[in-house]
Structure 1
Amino acid sequence: MTREHGRVPLVYSEEVADALAEGRPVVALESNVITHGLPYPDNAATARKVEDAVRAGGAIPATICVEGGQIKVGMTDEDVERFASTSGIPKVSSRDLPVVLAQGGLGALTVASSVVAAELAGIPFFSSAGIGGVHRGAEKTMDVSSDLIQFTRSKVAVVCAGAKSILDLNLTMEYLETHCVPVVSYRSDDFPAFYCVSSGIRSPQRLDDEQVIARAVDNHWALGNNSSFLITTPVREEDAIDASEVDAAITGAMAAAERDGVRGNAITKYLMRAVDAATEGRSSRANMSVLVSTAEVGGVWPPPMRGMSGRPPDPSAAPPRSPSAPGRFGVPGKPYPRIPKNQGIAPARVRAVQTSHRVRALSRPGTQRKGRTV
């Protein structure tokens, strides 16, 4: 099914289109992990395992990519195989998305561009192994992942295993706090660090009940926020890598990257490969594990939030209000009540306005005040 959002064409797979039309839960997935993650054929096999994990949780997976000037919402097995075996497919972040769409070629979407596409497609849930963040040394380089920027702009709930260990995780958490992006850890006390169970940083919130998290996400948007909501879940203990081992590898790799002049977009892949070499390939296996485990949790979340998953959006229509969503005074389905003049809270407001006028009047030259001219 093809549908335009403004001038951006969205092409839905039959499975995803049917699920959205019927109000069944759908989880968006990024395609960048296929083209810029593991080597072929492991990348194709892992992509299918991730989609199977979403289905096991009760939701429909929608891996998103760009092809022929269109955003494809839901990749077929043939699409996955082609992207996995084709070299040179560009990594497309949110800033690159308009250009790649205009060029009409292939593009693999990152976390940032995936949440843009998911919101356009009417899919409120997205799952990723790990998000980007503030890079180490950002006080000199200003290197901050576009993932964080996009989280301040897109209304999508993001399930992930925290942020990658190669980042400055303290500054990443500070950034999210500054921009009022909620971070909730599911059945865990700490903010995880990709293939490390814990970053050593206490999570702002721990919630163990899916229904409570579902209500929290709904409340976040009902309160007028237009930003994302992060739900973290750590990698399985048996697949995790010790944080001190990873940190030692990163410290050495950072020094080597500085010496070799590796900067910008190239630094992430450089550091990840260094960690993989230092752990003798265990980090790659952990990478595969965390992709699947986050997808399993991501597939569980949408069912309590079925009212948030619906048909592809009509760009000409006003955003729908869920029947259970609170109105502006917290009453389901009821609009902001009209308050008659001089009733309810009106007198207090009138007094405030009168006081304001009086203050401005007294500030004018020549105004009489208690028998003297000001």
Structure 2
Amino acid sequence: MAAELETLLRDRGVTPATIAVIDGIPTVGLDAIALTRIADSPDVAKLSVRDLPVASALRRTGATTVASTSLLAARAGIGVFATGGLGGVHRGWADSADESADLVTLASTPITVICAGVKSVLDVGATLERLETLGVTLLGWRTNTFPGFYLSRTEFAIDWRVEAAAEVAAVMADAQALGLRAAVVVANPVPEAEQLDQDLHDRVLTEALAEAARRGLRGKAVTPFLLATFHRETAGASLETNIAVVHNNVIVAADIATAWSARLTGPDRA
């Protein structure tokens, strides 16, 4: 899938730059060997921002989270980043204080991230409150409703809607002109035809939450359990939706990157 997405970007006139840490070296733009290694090797670590210096010092190889990918991309001068979904505030935050580092990193990283919201296994409402508090600009891509990753929409509204890549590029330019350091998040819902069946989603989530409570799972143990349960109980349908999410986000990101490049190089550049 990663190779297909890179081909899709090149076909649309955009240079792909998949990011990871290879043998301790933060690498912006993987070759075919490194891409295969990240996808297939069993000893690839998960690296957030706090893990980057350790992986570098110990010469480890790792896949980067939204937080660390955003940081490395911004340091390399990349303005647009496509991913699946953001990390967020976890359910039961009041008891565990479990919140993804994605949120605080985006608050201090000037990059535009295209995502399909956050997974419904998280506390969506609390995540949106945190994004607002942290000063992260949130745009709905042709939607007034915040998407729920597996689902095209949640119950939560988005204040600002955009219809075209040029509008996002204009927001990016004005954020830069204002000296803002926080990210711009573009929430792009998965097409309804490719979302997870609503009834199946609701049933699996309710049952998984009940089982997690029965097992006494708390904090960081909850989300991996919920995601594994989704994959098993939907017979892989959640994975198919996951792939559709990323594919759709990359297409939108390509259009935004093209519009941003045109704005930087054209006569109307900011």
TM-score range, shorter chain: over 0.9
Asked if the contact 2:19/2:28 (under 8 Å) is kept, the reply is: yes
Which residue is equivalent to 1:248?
A: 203
Which residue is equivalent to 1:60?
A: 15
1:251 CA drift (Å): 2.5
1:289 CA drift (Å): 1.1
Is the radius of gyration larger for structure 1 or structure 2? Answer: 1
Which residue is equivalent to 2:115?
A: 160
Which residue is equivalent to 1:127?
A: 82
Higher strand share: 1
Asked if the contact 2:22/2:34 (under 8 Å) is kept, the reply is: no
For the pair 1:199 / 2:154, whether they are aligned, the reply is: yes
Instruction: Give runs of aligned pairs for residues 327-366 of structure 1, distance below 5 A.
Output: none
AA at the equivalent of 1:97 = L
Which residue is equivalent to 2:269?
A: 324
Which residue is equivalent to 1:78?
A: 33
Asked if the contact 1:51/1:295 (under 8 Å) is kept, the reply is: no
Residue ranges of structure 2 left out of the alignment (5+ in a row): none
For the pair 1:87 / 2:42, whether they are aligned, the reply is: yes
Instruction: Give runs of aligned pairs for residues 228-239 of structure 1, distance below 5 A.
Output: 228-239=183-194
RMSD of Structure 2 on Structure 1 (CA): 2.0
TM-score normalized by the length of structure 2: 0.93
Instruction: Give runs of aligned pairs for residues 167-182 of structure 1, distance below 5 A.
Output: 167-182=122-137
Asked if the contact 1:199/1:243 (under 8 Å) is kept, the reply is: no
SS in 2 for 1:96: helix
For the pair 1:275 / 2:220, whether they are aligned, the reply is: no
C-alpha change, 1:139 and 1:248, in structure 2 (3 Å) is farther
For the pair 1:144 / 2:99, whether they are aligned, the reply is: yes
Asked if the contact 1:49/1:292 (under 8 Å) is kept, the reply is: no
Moved more, 171-180 or 150-159: 171-180
Give me the whole-angstrom Cα distance separating, in 2, the residues matched to 1:108 and 1:253: 27
Asked if the contact 2:112/2:185 (under 8 Å) is kept, the reply is: yes
Asked if the contact 1:134/1:171 (under 8 Å) is kept, the reply is: yes
Asked if the contact 2:166/2:259 (under 8 Å) is kept, the reply is: yes
Give me the whole-angstrom Cα distance separating, in 2, the residues matched to 1:214 and 1:138: 34
AA at the equivalent of 1:102 = A
- Per-residue CA deviation, residues 295-321 of structure 1 (Å, 9 max, x unaligned), is 1111111111116779xxxxxxxxxxx
Give me the whole-angstrom Cα distance separating, in 1, the residues matched to 2:82 and 2:216: 33
Which residue is equivalent to 2:244?
A: 289
Asked if the contact 2:150/2:196 (under 8 Å) is kept, the reply is: yes
Higher helix share: 2
Asked if the contact 2:104/2:134 (under 8 Å) is kept, the reply is: no
TM-score normalized by the length of structure 1: 0.68
Which residue is equivalent to 1:348?
A: none
From 137, 140, 156, the counterpart of 1:185: 140
For the pair 1:99 / 2:54, whether they are aligned, the reply is: yes
Asked if the contact 1:53/1:299 (under 8 Å) is kept, the reply is: no
- Per-residue CA deviation, residues 58-107 of structure 1 (Å, 9 max, x unaligned), is 31111111123311111111111122221021100111111111111111
C-alpha change, 1:264 and 1:65, in structure 2 (3 Å) is farther
